[in-house]
Amino acid sequence: MSRPIWKGAISFGLVHVPVELHSASTSSGIDLDLLDKRDFAPVGYKKYNKSTGKEVTQEDIVKGYAIEKDEYVVLTDADLRKANPESTQTIDILSFVEASDIPVIFFEQPYYLVPSKGGEKVYALLRQTLERSGKLALGQVVIRTKQHLAALMPLQEVIVLNLLRYQEEIRELPEIPLPKSGKQSLVSAKEVEMALSLVKDMTESWNPEQYQDTYRQDILKLVQKKVKAKQTHFLTEPDSDAVKTKDAKPSNVVDLLQLLKNSLGDKSGKSKSAKPRSDKPSKTADKQSA
């Protein structure tokens, strides 16, 4: 079991549910160190005093809030807890909403809520209430030095707390250029229907185990290949073909209907006898170029 990153209680009306917060996700990316290419020595990160240039140890570092240039109010961890002790120890449920009412862009980071000793029964009550109602509980919680909006939702036998972004943290929608008028630019009803047929044809049950981080796997294979070739201190030169591909200008003319027909495999059977277009890249070529 992972270590809790926060301990407190869920405030649900007059009911308090003692809980612990555990991380529900982990990063699976490639951990790369920064190196000096002249001798391949690791490049370090050093905290230093900007006035004297001398290195500063962790014990000598404090947090400060700037009120003017070069003038700060120092805030210790004790100060941050004393500012509002109740907020730092509770997840206050404010309301209940339909899950579909929250746009996906607001969801930020999931955590598992685990009941503390003695809180199993009230925890089970809240989880079953959320499950039966089909709604999410909206609340606020302070983690470290930031107050977050959060959504509590049931997942199998546990309650998941998903941190949400505040409205002020969401940027405005970018301007999307609309298709130009004209027969060759507007999306036709036939193209939409064919795209929907493609979606139906590709629809399957959710099975997260079938999706793998293939890019990470390919990088690790490349690392092993370089180790076997004793190329542990070897710089690979840029691929000239990749440079040419980058400089090439793609064509804006797309036969969308034909692409959809090819994707569907032309259920009428006509495409089976037709020869594939030579300018259509294969899946194998796509993987190699990637």
Query: Is 142 part of any domain?
Result: yes
Residue 145, helix vs strand vs coil: coil
202-233: pLDDT as tens digits: 888 888 888 777 778 888 888 888 888 888 87
The total of structural domains in the chain comes to 1
* 85 belongs to a structural domain: yes
pLDDT of residue 247: 54
CA 105 from chain centre, in angstroms, equals 10
Task: Check residue 241 and give its pLDDT.
Answer: 57
Q: Domain containing 113: what range?
A: 6-28+80-166
- Are 135 and 99 in contact by the 8 Å Cβ rule? The answer is yes
- The tens digit of pLDDT for each residue in 85-134 reads 666 788 989 999 998 899 999 999 999 999 998 889 999 999 999 999 99
Q: Contact 165/111 with Cβ under 8 angstroms? A: no
Sequence-ordered alpha helix ranges (H) in 93-213: 120-133, 189-202
pLDDT in tens, 25-67: 777 677 788 888 888 888 888 899 998 999 999 899 999 989 8
- SS3 at position 115: strand
Residue 208 has a pLDDT of 81
Q: Alpha helix locations (H) across the chain? A: 77-83, 85-89, 120-133, 189-202, 214-228, 240-247, 256-264, 270-273, 283-289
User: Residue 141: inside a domain, yes or no?
Assistant: yes
**Domain contains 243:** no
- Domain at 139, CATH number: 2.40.290.10
Looking at residue 253, its pLDDT comes to: 54
